[in-house]
Structure 1
Amino acid sequence: MGKKKQVNHLFSCARKVLNSKKRILFVAPVEFHVPHLEPVINQLKQNTMFEVHTLGPFSDVSGHRHFTKQHEMAFVTAYDLVVSTDFSVVPYWIAAPKAFFGHGIGPKVNYQGREPIRDFTYSFCPCSAFYQVHKQAGLQCYKIGLPILDNPTPPAIQPLLTSFGLPTDLPLLVYAPSWSGTSKVISDIPTILKKLELLSEKMNIVVSPHPNLLNPKRYSQYNLFVKTSLPVNRPGGAFNTFDLCKAAEYVVSDISSVLFESMALGKIVLFDGNREIYEFSDAGQILEQMLPEVPTVNWDEPLDTQLTAAKNYPQPNCFIQNYLYNNGRAGLVMEKAIKNILNIRECNE
């Protein structure tokens, strides 16, 4: 144990004796992870039992201590629990127990299994795919769900459409392709964009790709999103992908969490046909469970007729209710889990 961590450990032990209020640090390395943590942060801030700190690109920092970078933090500041959306970004000197927060429900099972768990003890799992992998990795897993889905108030549709230069009298379709470090299993984005462009006079279409697809260092065909005539949602804009899906009537995607979250929201969801990413991600079984409830787009056929058919597609929603934990009450379940962890946690000398 390094000197900084030893000192932090001593302060952590002192906190357990001298302080009744539990101090929790929430960590998110990138902007699009933040909205998933915010509902829980706001919920805990209303409880006098907790003191909340945040580290990362949080925009709403009212009413709690916030750090943008690690170097702003004092290593003597002790915490009772750290909750992070990433295993690799928690300051090494923090001696508190650490919990991973599953920030999406896309079933990239092999990716989840490759992540080093480091000195994490807990995993707040949003869905069955996370739970199975993290349980095998030795983490103490809690079946939580996604708090961001508890009260999914959609944004005002007119300002959203206006921000993309779209008319307000057409339905909205969101296309949200995911990214993979193995380019051959990324969806056929060139073909899909061309087909969507043909439909743009009949429907409002916004493309909201995974941020890595817009990065020339991560995706060689990033320029597709520059050349397309369709509006593209980019990081740092007024609306994130989840906002768009809440406002949309249709959502088209592959293995992205967006597809599964939109199912939970009751949207008309269509699978873009990229089976390869599921097989590559060891999620073929999940795909087979999903397909009876989600129509697959045939990009060789007219898309408008397929959208009409999808509107009348029987959607019992059984798959997502079995796959996603605690839909509609995840925030309360997570608060209960945090209380459970902190109540049973003792200071190990």
Structure 2
Amino acid sequence: MSTSTAVRQSTPLKSAAPRLRAPRRHIPRRPRRSVLLTALTGIVLVYSLLPLVWLLMSATKSQQGLARSFGLWFDHDFDLWSNISDTFTYHDGIFVRWLLNTLLYVVVGAGGATFLAVLGGYALAKFDFPGKKAVFAVVIGAVAVPATALAVPTFLLFSKIGLTDTPWAVIVPSLISPFGLYLMWVFATEAIPTELMEAARIDGAGEVRTFFQVALPLLAPGTVTVLLFTTVATWNNYFLPLIMLKNPDWYPLTLGLDAWNKQSQTSDGDVVTNLVLTGSLLTIIPLIAAFLLLQKYWQSGLSAGSVKE
């Protein structure tokens, strides 16, 4: 046997280890920028902000300044603070009364509509009962019917029972929100696990306690979303108070500012366009603040039910 052969036999053969490929780095692709989409978004942004900018600048002008200055720029006299003061004191401070009326309609009407929508949506999502499909069809049909189509029948009904020209003529119709009920139905279906409700019942909790202590905290995003929608609808409600109310002491802000604006069309009426614009600016400030403060809640509520696990 040769020396080389003996060396090969005495030395164990090393198994060739497989060569591992270096893992490829995943480089995320940057989203392609669409010039057309950017341009359309810019147009929508300008369309949305331009009326607000015009309203803000117009509220800083006097009645004469509105006529002598460009609409999208300030006048040389800055009268915002005097306009705000005159708005609150004009006609013996009727603007404050209209503001309180609007708050009353929002707190009772929109708050009640939200509470009823939460109760109804929770019941429809988590309980089975005869006629559930019929209720679903009625809710969907009510969402499709515009509120203006029901205004005249509602007026005739309230006229029969003697509730016209009272706050209840605005509050009671505001308590019904078919869209809010449907939204809470969808949200409660995904947000509340059935196992959690069964565990609460096993622990001895009744249905009322299960709703308030277990289900209601989980429904917070959807509740805030419905509250914002009903608040905006009630705050901006114009047509229903127009046909229901005759006494200016029960006017909401929308109807009161419209009455000020129509004064210029009468022979002996005061022209207070500057006060109308200032009052309109003061009217939208609470809504903007509510949306900014509750933004994280209503965004999560709007996406409820969009992803099913």
Compute the TM-score of the two structures, normalised by the length of structure 1. Answer: 0.21
The structure that has the greater radius of gyration is 2
| Greater strand proportion | 1
Compute the TM-score of the two structures, normalised by the length of structure 2. Answer: 0.23
| Greater helix proportion | 2
Q: Which has the higher contact order (CA 8 A, sep 6+)?
A: 2
